[in-house]
Amino acid sequence: MTILVTGVAGFIGYHVAEALLDRGEEVIGVDIVNDYYDVKLKEARLDRLVNKSKYSFHKVDIACHKATAEVVSKYERIDRIIHLAAQAGVRYSLINPDAYLRSNLMGHATILEIARHLPKCRHMVYASSSSVYGMNTKLPFSVNDRTDAPSSLYAATKKADELMSYCYSHLYGLPQTGLRFFTVYGPWGRPDMAMYIFCKKISAGEPIPVFNNGDMARDFTYIDDIVRGVIATLYNPPSGSHDTAPHRLLNIGNHKAEPLMRMIELIEIALGKKADIDFKSMQPGDIKESFADIDSIFDLTGFKPETTIEVGIPKFVDWFKEYEGI
């Protein structure tokens, strides 16, 4: 297979690309390598891919259709796409909405147009998010639940991506799967996410801000489980039928809502240092709890998460200490 991976310098993109290359697949990676968070971390991830065979990388802005199409035109053999490039993060969407409109709306539209014109593209797997469940209170979140009350612009752009994708599957028969990721963590993770921020502040002896007075829960999903789920999904394109578009949405999570305070406790144990907790009220755009119903992805691919936070958090902390030189 020849797979276009967008967002390859990002946390999930890097891991997925590495696993595909290790399986002997060809990967064409693209990323703008923007400075939403430390570029050095993105470059360090890219450095780990650069010497692998059947890998090529192009620095390009997917919001620019012409530049992206020019890159992709060299690889008409692409038969799968994993589209992960996006402006991620709920809170930053209140600060810089333009970044979300460009990367998540224009960028997604670009990749759809490119996929539609690629002669051999048999499946596009793209990143959606658990945040599309917005203000829903019924748990666990199921792909059959309504998703029309997003609580942030980030969530609204991800919901828009799902709608655009459905439309392209319907109009052009492009097989697609949207994966709603639930709080992904692990080595080479994102410095803007709570787990990394907490590790950094606790190590430095600084207080950690804990929102909603700690009364939050997240379905933390370990990166190795995510990679297995993304690849299993990639190999299983939806077929559609005469009256349905070949498009589907799947949750990919750990199927466990873990209390935020338990996450902090595990970090403290792994770091060997107590946290100084600064309790704060709920932040705008945030949700109290996430919890994935993963029956659909299990039925389609046999996906089952294998990593508890008791195992995954120490692995993340070990990597964090090495990377940060602590």
Ligand X SMILES: NC(=O)c1ccc[n+]([C@@H]2O[C@H](COP(=O)([O-])OP(=O)(O)OC[C@H]3O[C@@H](n4cnc5c(N)ncnc54)[C@H](O)[C@@H]3O)[C@@H](O)[C@H]2O)c1
- Tell me, yes or no, if 100 is annotated catalytic: no
- Residue from 29, 46, 49, 87 in contact with ligand X (CB under 6 A): 87
Q: Does 134 bind ligand X (CB under 6 A)?
A: no
CB of 260 to ligand X, least distance (A): 15
Pick 218 or 247: Cβ nearer ligand X: 218
Q: Does 96 bind ligand X (CB under 6 A)?
A: no
- Residue from 12, 82, 202, 267 in contact with ligand X (CB under 6 A): 12
- Each as own residue / partner, the long-range contacts of residues 235-238 (CB below 8 Å, 24 or more positions apart, any chain) are 236/300, 236/301, 237/122, 237/123, 237/175, 237/177, 238/123, 238/175, 238/176, 238/177
Helix (H, G, I), strand (E, B) or coil at 222: strand
CB of 42 to ligand X, least distance (A): 5
By Cβ distance, which residue is nearest to ligand X? 10
Given the residues 154, 168, 185, 196, the one annotated as active site: 154
- Residue from 31, 219, 258, 289 in contact with ligand X (CB under 6 A): 31
Helix (H, G, I), strand (E, B) or coil at 210: strand
- Residue from 46, 124, 184, 234 in contact with ligand X (CB under 6 A): 184
Given the rule CB under 6 A, which of 82-90, 204-212, 276-284, 303-311 is the region that contacts ligand X? 82-90
Q: Does 132 bind ligand X (CB under 6 A)?
A: no
Q: Does 63 bind ligand X (CB under 6 A)?
A: yes
Q: Yes or no: say if 130 and 292 are a contact pair by the CB < 8 Å rule.
A: yes
Binding residues for ligand X restricted to 214-253, rule: CB under 6 A: none
Q: Yes or no: say if 72 and 118 are a contact pair by the CB < 8 Å rule.
A: yes
* Beta strands, E only, the chain: 2-6, 26-31, 55-59, 80-83, 123-129, 176-181, 184-185, 208-210, 217-218, 221-222, 247-252, 258-259, 277-279
Burial zone of 93 (CB within 10 Å; 0-12 exposed, 13-18 middle, 19+ buried): buried
Given the rule CB under 6 A, which of 57-65, 71-79, 142-150, 252-260 is the region that contacts ligand X? 57-65
Q: Which residue has the tokens 């990967």?
A: 27
Given the rule CB under 6 A, which of 4-12, 260-268, 275-283, 317-325 is the region that contacts ligand X? 4-12
CB of 240 to ligand X, least distance (A): 24
Q: From the CA atom positions of the chain, what is the Rg in Å?
A: 19
Structure tokens at 3: 């797979």
Q: Does 32 bind ligand X (CB under 6 A)?
A: yes
Q: Which residue has the tokens 């059947």?
A: 54
Q: Would you list the DSSP string of 102-142?
A: IIIIIHHHHHHHHHHH-TT--EEEEEEEGGGGTT--SSSB-
Given the rule CB under 6 A, which of 61-69, 237-245, 282-290, 292-300 is the region that contacts ligand X? 61-69
Residues annotated as catalytic (active site), given as ranges: 154
In the complex, which residues of this chain contact ligand X (CB under 6 A)?
7, 9-13, 31-34, 42, 61-63, 84-88, 103, 107, 127, 129, 181, 183-184, 190
